[in-house]
Amino acid sequence: MSAERAKHDVFHAIADPTRRQLLKLLSKEEMPVTAISANFPISRTAVSKHLRVLAEADLVRERKSGRETRYSLNPEPLRELQDWVQYFELFWDNKLNKLRHLLESEQQGE
């Protein structure tokens, strides 16, 4: 994978639990980094680094408001994840249908 592609990889961006929590927090409202940091047991610098990864994947938007930067969720890139999961749902549905048929046939055999 090229360095440019890795820089914008949505899957990489959400791989970290802290970044997933950040996305959930920002889904509620736009916030400055100081308010975001208050929700995490890590330094403000660490939160800023996580926000940078999310911004590079276009999962968060940055907006200057005076001297502070405010962050908000950009859910559009999550469609890539949704498409990927939906593809594999076919396999899960198939396995569940096979299990249901197996259980039904065992119950009929009793």
Residues 59 and 105 occupy one common structural domain: no
The CATH number covering residue 61 comes to 1.10.10.10
Residues 98 and 65 occupy one common structural domain: no
Provide the pLDDT for residue 6: 47
State the residue range of the domain holding 29.
1-75
Residues 23 and 67 occupy one common structural domain: yes
Note the pTM of the prediction, 2 decimals.
Answer: 0.74
All residue ranges of the chain with pLDDT < 50 are 1-6
Provide the pLDDT for residue 97: 76
**Long-range Cβ pairs for the range 32-37 (8 Å, 24+):** 32/65, 32/68, 32/69, 32/70, 32/71, 33/68, 33/69, 33/71, 34/68, 36/71
